[in-house]
Structure 1
């Protein structure tokens, strides 16, 4: 079979298609023929050698955590899935339920565990989940990281209620899923982007307020205006150091800021006294458990929420897909198909 391979000195030039032996499932394992994988910003950082938990200093990696495929064979003792089932790979292979632990967070696909960027993959049955039938393979492949991150932030950590105000930064995968989930749950939404065209697309998905952060860099002011001076109940912080100061100015007293990305890079030093002044909660968020994933899928099915797939490439053209992500061309998700 063929697989994607990335190794030192890292970089997009090192993303290659290689021939490797066909795998076979062992005890508790499942053989999956992949149909699609989706890109996350984490994948771009990883292949460039810039990811916090990896990649390793030596040896190749097989990238991508998020995939959709069909079960071709099962090993002894497997009960969760059967041959012919369509499944999603789960970001954390060992996080079934409960709070995160070091062991659970050490089981991410892509690194340290070989990822879904291959024609055939063997995964433990605990690291797979059956998926809604109404979604396409492309759409299913977007769920394990971006969708689950937004779902956990809004409903497991944020504990939001209808009528609360949510700020979503940018129009990448997590933010667009956050917009769709928040709209379905009756939350008021404000979304930021540097593109008026993308903002109009977000409006069509239900965004209540739109802010172009290029023309309005002090975007916390429109947030305050939209909430009568109160501030946002919840902010999906994807920028990191480059945007956290605006988030702190925009959040309400006792509000929740979910730190899920660093796409804006370093910014001004963060003053923790700001948190004390408004009793806000600043929480790092790294995807979620299988239980959370399956509750999210039930909500997707109930509300018939369709993930936004903006660009699709053949999986052998992964470099072109990464280039599109690096350039910020996408709205929603980028997918590779097998």
Structure 2
């Protein structure tokens, strides 16, 4: 089979398309023909050697992927041949709390991921894809979707009337916008692009802030909330934005710390956390149980993932470069070539899908 490998920390252009033997499922496992994958910022960090200093090579990258079950091993009962399934981000996190051992089961870093023609996963680590979603749409769910769901719903306990601040318009933030709106929350979103902010308003954003023209955006958030602050911040920036998020959240509010898009390592003054009685929680994607709960809500509300562009399997490097450019709104997807050609005929390949 064809698969991509990260063989060193030499960067995106060193991503190698290789031939590997087609994997065979053993007891409890299934063989999946991968139909589509999607990229996350984590995938860029792994390709550039900036994710884990102990990263082992070679590894098949990408944690997000969906496909069709084509072979099942002995004892498999949760899925059957022909089912459309997505793999979970942490293969061993079914329910309960995250542990060190469960963290070792993440796809695309310590374990081979989904950027291949076939993948073998254990039946317990699979989620059935909702019928109303295409393979391309389903491929966006395992990391960004579940992360936003855990942040706002599982841990955030979002309620109607809450206010939520979303930083940027990448995959996690756009999923969080959609989840906030189905729960009746007020959503404030930031971006450096007025065009992206206009698209966010079309998705239901109540207030938008261009952080390039309004660098003190935390003050604007404060004013928009009657000098109270938001109930919840979905913080994807990291060290560069966290100090502003600490100012933008209300007393007793919550910050879900998810990403490091603006960098790491800056000194953070912890006093706002103390004096404002804040909850700051790191969010590491989520369990299979959370994934399934999210799918039920998405099915009920017919939520469609927002996809910016679709690239073919042979264009994986181009997809990585596009994600790195930060030009995207929502998710960047890589499809298998057959599906890509269908999209090309419809005028949708390598183009905006929203």
TM-score (norm 1): 0.98
Q: 1:140 aligns with which of 133, 138, 141?
A: 138
- Equivalent residue of 1:110, what SS? coil
Q: Counterpart of 1:333?
A: 331
After TM superposition, the structure 1 stretch with the greater mean CA deviation from structure 2, 95-104 or 191-200, is 95-104
- Equivalent residue of 2:120, what SS? strand
Q: Is the 8 A contact 1:242 1:267 kept in 2?
A: no
RMSD value over aligned CA atoms? 1.0
Q: Is the 8 A contact 2:137 2:307 kept in 1?
A: yes
Matched, 1:81 2:79: yes
Aligned-residue offset at 1:9 = 4.1
Deviation per CA, 1:181-206: give whole Å up to 9, x if none.
10111000000000000000000000
Q: Is the 8 A contact 1:72 1:84 kept in 2?
A: yes
Aligned-residue offset at 1:267 = 7.1
Q: Counterpart of 2:341?
A: none
**Residue-pair matches, total:** 336
Q: Counterpart of 1:49?
A: 49
Q: Counterpart of 1:239?
A: 237
Q: 2:176 aligns with which of 178, 182, 189?
A: 178
Q: Is the 8 A contact 1:36 1:335 kept in 2?
A: yes
Q: 1:251 aligns with which of 249, 252, 255?
A: 249
Q: Counterpart of 1:314?
A: 312
Q: Counterpart of 1:18?
A: 18
How many angstroms apart in 1 are the aligned matches of 2:208 and 2:82?
44
Q: Is the 8 A contact 1:166 1:235 kept in 2?
A: yes
- Equivalent residue of 2:239, what SS? helix
Aligned-residue offset at 1:172 = 0.1
How many angstroms apart in 1 are the aligned matches of 2:99 and 2:3?
30
Deviation per CA, 1:247-271: give whole Å up to 9, x if none.
0000001111011000011475201
- Equivalent residue of 1:297, what SS? helix
Matched, 1:156 2:154: yes
- Equivalent residue of 2:105, what SS? coil
Unaligned runs of 5+ in 2: 337-354
Q: Counterpart of 2:37?
A: 37
TM-score (norm 2): 0.93
Aligned-residue offset at 1:163 = 0.3
How many angstroms apart in 1 are the aligned matches of 2:140 and 2:203?
17
Q: 2:66 aligns with which of 60, 65, 68?
A: 68
- Equivalent residue of 2:212, what SS? coil
Q: Is the 8 A contact 2:27 2:76 kept in 1?
A: yes
Q: 1:263 aligns with which of 258, 261, 264?
A: 261
Q: How does 1:67-146 map to 2 (within 5 A)?
A: 67-146=65-144
Aligned-residue offset at 1:10 = 2.6
Q: Is the 8 A contact 1:245 1:268 kept in 2?
A: no
Q: Counterpart of 2:350?
A: none
